[in-house]
Structure 1
Amino acid sequence: MAGEVTAAAGAAGEAAAHGGGGMDVIGVVVLLAAAVIAVPVFRRIGLGSVLGYLAAGLAVGPFGLGFFDDPEAIIHVAELGVVLFLFVIGLEMQPSRLWAMRGEIFGLGFAQVLVAMGVLTIVGVSLGFPVSASLISGTGFVLTSTAIVMQMLDERKEMATPKGRRMISILLFEDLAIVPLLALVTFLAPGGEEVTMAHRLTSAAIGTGAIVALIFGGLYLLNPFFSLLARYGGREVMTAAALLVVLGAALMMQAAGLSMAMGAFLAGVLLSESTFRHQLEADVEPFRGLLLGLFFLGVGMALNLTTIAENWLLVVICVPAYMILKMLVIYCVARIWKADRAEALERAVLMAQGGEFAFVLYSAAAAAGVITGQDRAVLTAIVIVSMVLTPLMIILHDRLAPKIQPSLDGVEEARDLHARVLIIGFGRMGQVISQPLIARGHSLSIIEKDPQMIRDADEFGFKVWYGDGTRLDVLHAAGAAEACLIVAVPDDKEATTRIVELVKAEFPMVPVIARAFDREHALELVQHDVDFQMRETLHSALAMGREALVKLGDDPEVIDEVMEEIRNRDAERFELECVGGISAGAALILSNRNTEPA
């Protein structure tokens, strides 16, 4: 967090310095304060960091407190955050994986962009605008915000999932699409039909040549380059080299008329199998986070409230019209490509906004005379409003969307089970605990709420029933009242506590042993009168500590004495915490009071 604010402040200082002397330090302090206050508050209330940055930018921008009057300069610098983000994504995409995604990039991505262009053009035509202006307006909105979607996927930990990769594929195609779309602007401009075929072929050849040159350099030059620096340079030189490669590739693509983000992505892909991949990712990652935070601040500053007020009716009509129609297109295309309803809906919500490439497209269209300067301002405001609304829509989606129900095909629910031992949860601990019980011939009833885990267990000869042990009716159906022992070992801390609480309240004569996730959880289970609890990593950690002493050559008898002392001291501290309700730190002091230092 501190790093993000620092980089944001540095760029703000640069922007302020261009506007006059003495304001650079003020710009740094203002952005530091805005981000430090807004982002934690918004994350604390569940609105996410993106909305926090946007709100902070609006507060300190020209339509808030007025500390900055040129937000576009900050956005221009901060777009490098998107570039670095794409480079990090490229590092995770080996060429083989990228090739495997070609159908999603050029099939799914192309279909979504093309259909959305046609549908969104209807909005402008319906409002009475010329077809060419309507086409450019709708097309700009088709280009999703890479920064927002990537950040949301990152926060939701979905970037490496199949549905996350499909969204990334679409974003990659949209990055590629900016090139023909800018050519479309040239064609739609007054006199654009007279652009020669030779000019178009030349532009295509330059772009292709830049891609070929980048691929060649990545395959044959980058590894020797980084090997040389690793041998003779320092850590800071490697960091500088990583930034040089990313920004150099981005600038090469931009000079060839392509997307900077696409150049950075290709550089990442070419380095994805390099021995320096992990170091490069570690070097670039801090800058990526910093500049992305600055980008969102800049977008918040750029929200032109005057333009929105002057054209409020148009904004009120276009923002929901564009977003709803785009969501419908994304949903339908996703369903055609065999995505389930939940994934299609989530993709539609995440990608419903316009993006940063719309600013580029609208600027080019205004310069070419396809749209007026006033139209550009309104369209830019519409895109920014959609970007601001997206985090709120995602929150509503997460709260209101129906929860995904797991498929129960091939799974039987727990009904009228009778066994001496009821095991709740058949994860890594449940599987191990069941083995000595089976070896001694005790009958088991095993329930688990993950259908896939039940199917996997069935392949190895275990009969596991479907059931949620936190529900009293399921416990009755699983035979908890007749069991001689209940073992609570689900892969969920809260669920374990709830099971112990239910069992002790409803079946007080049945002993229950439970898995504790950590020391605090163990104390919580003791408070609920669990008969036996064990921290899941306690004995494995002690065993590894003992082995570490063995490898270091300590005397075996001394090792045994030390380990026994540690076990006794831990048990004593735990007893003090249970009886007195004191903190772990206080228990540690009391238990060590008469202990000589090792």
Structure 2
Amino acid sequence: MPETSIVHSFFLIFTGAAIVASFALYARQPLILAYIIIGAIVGPFGLDYVSDARMLSEIAEIGIIFLLFLLGLDMQPKSLGAMFGKASFVAIVSSVAFAGLGYIVSIQFGFTQLEALIIGACMVFSSTIIGIKLLPTTVLHHRHTGELVVALLLIQDLIAILVLLLIGSFTSSEDANFEILELGTTLLMLPFVALACYLIVRFIILPLFTKFDRFHEYMFLLSIGWCLGVAEASEKLGLSLEIGAFIAGISLATSPISQYIAVNLKPLRDFFLVLFFFSLGANFNHALLESIWIPTLILGIVMIAFKPWCFSFLLQKTGEPKEGATEVGVRLGQISEFSLMIAFLAFSQQLISNEASHLIQATAILTFIINSYMVIFRYPSPIAVSDKLRRD
């Protein structure tokens, strides 16, 4: 089928998503599910009405960038630093546990040692999008629970970047090796980028905001330019677009303009996040389900059951109250969009088979759906099915 124009693709995506979302709301289902379903229906492996899902995935990544930028705007550096001490212990110990469990389950279904290691690594991470998207603004800004969720997700994101760098430097030849020096250089770039952002914001960005604060469109433009500029620079220096966007946001967090920017960029973020979840459904090959549905079901259920318990147990060991620790555990009880990136890169490097790649994707989608239900039926969220729990 010939490729459709981007305007026609957007028509199919957003009109289709609106229709499916209407049914989802009547059935009291999460809207994320509607976006994934419309992607599966009209994408390349469905009716093939939108064939360039790769392009849409790249556009959707902008949504993740804006999400991390807005997240940075909401975080005060001092409170974030205080959270990292406790979160580091929980994140590292839980990562080892999740990776080990994923490895054990994968080996039982006949995957190779390397495939099982990569599948295990993909089980480590929780979704930044779902974890933050399902947090009400009041919880994200003003409560200890929100700060803890964010700190854990950010440490996981740093681990995910390490995994991506390791896989990217691993060759499928007999002389496979890891470029440790490149990894060390990349990690050293993190404080360099943070310091550079602090200085630029203090001496250039904030004075510009102050001088031209009457021109709202200029403030909007400068905000987007700063976010995307730092994201792009970070990627060139070996970090990721997402980490760069977060640093860009947190560099503005202490300024009085931060909340104005956050409010004005939320609709733009939501627009691109619809595309992200659409592309997730569109890129999944349904034909492979027959060969992977059993390991997907078992791996997904194991992780959904184990992740919340493990997070809760470790957080209680650090002194967190049981109720708060359990809520954090449930909110982080899914697989991450970083897992999808790792699966794509590992498959492109010929390190894992197509079946292993789709196992990771299917498990991620399964955990996205089930965990979203667990959150919206139990805790406050912007898309809760109960009026009592709905918080924006």
Shorter-chain TM range is 0.7 to 0.9
- In structure 2, distance between residues paired with 1:343 and 1:192: 48
- Tell me: CA distance 1:24–1:165, structure 2 relative to 1, closer, same or farther (3 Å): same
Find the residue that maps to 1:67 and give its secondary structure.
coil
Q: Deviations over 1:117-172 (max 9, x none)?
A: 233222223334333321211111221111111111138x5323222221111111
Q: Deviations over 1:310-335 (max 9, x none)?
A: 32233233222333333332232233
Amino acid at match of 2:239: L
Q: Which protein has the bigger helix share?
A: 2
Q: Does 1:91 align with 2:73?
A: yes
- Once the two structures are TM-superposed, the CA of residue 197 in structure 1 deviates from its matched residue by 4.7
1:129-140 equivalences in 2 (<5 Å): 129-140=111-122
Who is 2:282 aligned against? 301
Deviating more after overlay: 350-359 vs 56-65: 56-65
Answer yes or no: is the 8 Å Cα contact 2:111–2:356 preserved in 1.
no
- Once the two structures are TM-superposed, the CA of residue 78 in structure 1 deviates from its matched residue by 1.1
- Tell me: CA distance 1:120–1:327, structure 2 relative to 1, closer, same or farther (3 Å): farther
- Tell me: CA distance 1:120–1:374, structure 2 relative to 1, closer, same or farther (3 Å): closer
- Once the two structures are TM-superposed, the CA of residue 245 in structure 1 deviates from its matched residue by 0.7
- Once the two structures are TM-superposed, the CA of residue 207 in structure 1 deviates from its matched residue by 4.5
- Once the two structures are TM-superposed, the CA of residue 26 in structure 1 deviates from its matched residue by 2.9
Who is 2:311 aligned against? 330
- Tell me: CA distance 1:80–1:127, structure 2 relative to 1, closer, same or farther (3 Å): same
Find the residue that maps to 1:68 and give its secondary structure.
coil
Q: Deviations over 1:539-595 (max 9, x none)?
A: xxxxxxxxxxxxxxxxxxxxxxxxxxxxxxxxxxxxxxxxxxxxxxxxxxxxxxxxx
1:465-504 equivalences in 2 (<5 Å): none
Amino acid at match of 2:206: N
Amino acid at match of 1:218: V
Who is 2:127 aligned against? 145
For 1:237, which of 218, 225, 248 is the aligned residue?
218
1:105-124 equivalences in 2 (<5 Å): 105-124=87-106
- In structure 2, distance between residues paired with 1:316 and 1:279: 44
Who is 1:288 aligned against? 269
Amino acid at match of 1:361: I
Amino acid at match of 2:213: A
> What is the TM-score with the length of structure 2 in the denominator?
0.85
- Once the two structures are TM-superposed, the CA of residue 189 in structure 1 deviates from its matched residue by 4.7
- Once the two structures are TM-superposed, the CA of residue 33 in structure 1 deviates from its matched residue by 1.9
- In structure 2, distance between residues paired with 1:132 and 1:341: 37
For 1:389, which of 342, 346, 370 is the aligned residue?
370
Q: CA RMSD in A?
A: 2.9
Answer yes or no: is the 8 Å Cα contact 1:352–1:390 preserved in 2.
yes
- In structure 2, distance between residues paired with 1:398 and 1:179: 30
Who is 1:104 aligned against? 86
- Relative CO higher for 1 or 2, CA cutoff 8 Å, sep ≥ 6? 2
Amino acid at match of 1:383: A
- In structure 2, distance between residues paired with 1:187 and 1:20: 34
Deviating more after overlay: 241-250 vs 94-103: 94-103
Who is 2:294 aligned against? 313
1:109-508 equivalences in 2 (<5 Å): 109-154=91-136, 158-160=139-141, 161-185=143-167, 189-190=171-172, 194-195=177-178, 197-230=180-213, 234-395=215-376, 397=378
Answer yes or no: is the 8 Å Cα contact 2:139–2:146 preserved in 1.
yes
Deviating more after overlay: 187-196 vs 339-348: 187-196
Answer yes or no: is the 8 Å Cα contact 2:139–2:145 preserved in 1.
yes
- In structure 1, distance between residues paired with 2:30 and 2:180: 48
Find the residue that maps to 1:246 and give its secondary structure.
helix
Q: Deviations over 1:17-72 (max 9, x none)?
A: xx646x44432322232222222332343222222322333333334443222334
Answer yes or no: is the 8 Å Cα contact 2:292–2:359 preserved in 1.
yes
- Once the two structures are TM-superposed, the CA of residue 225 in structure 1 deviates from its matched residue by 3.2
Answer yes or no: is the 8 Å Cα contact 1:349–1:397 preserved in 2.
no
* Structure 2 gaps, min length 5: 381-387
Answer yes or no: is the 8 Å Cα contact 1:119–1:325 preserved in 2.
no
Q: Which has the larger radius of gyration?
A: 1
Deviating more after overlay: 293-302 vs 283-292: 293-302
Who is 2:29 aligned against? 47
Find the residue that maps to 1:272 and give its secondary structure.
coil
Find the residue that maps to 1:158 and give its secondary structure.
helix
- Once the two structures are TM-superposed, the CA of residue 229 in structure 1 deviates from its matched residue by 4.0
- Once the two structures are TM-superposed, the CA of residue 105 in structure 1 deviates from its matched residue by 3.7
Answer yes or no: is the 8 Å Cα contact 1:176–1:258 preserved in 2.
no
- In structure 2, distance between residues paired with 1:183 and 1:27: 33
Amino acid at match of 2:115: A
| Identical amino acids, percent of aligned pairs | 24
Deviating more after overlay: 197-206 vs 81-90: 197-206
Who is 2:14 aligned against? 32
- In structure 2, distance between residues paired with 1:324 and 1:131: 24
Find the residue that maps to 2:156 and give its secondary structure.
helix
- In structure 2, distance between residues paired with 1:129 and 1:57: 29
* Structure 1 gaps, min length 5: 1-15, 400-493, 495-598
- Once the two structures are TM-superposed, the CA of residue 397 in structure 1 deviates from its matched residue by 4.7
- In structure 1, distance between residues paired with 2:193 and 2:64: 20
- In structure 1, distance between residues paired with 2:32 and 2:283: 15
Answer yes or no: is the 8 Å Cα contact 1:207–1:257 preserved in 2.
no
- Once the two structures are TM-superposed, the CA of residue 193 in structure 1 deviates from its matched residue by 6.1
Amino acid at match of 2:364: V
- In structure 1, distance between residues paired with 2:264 and 2:78: 25
Amino acid at match of 1:215: Y
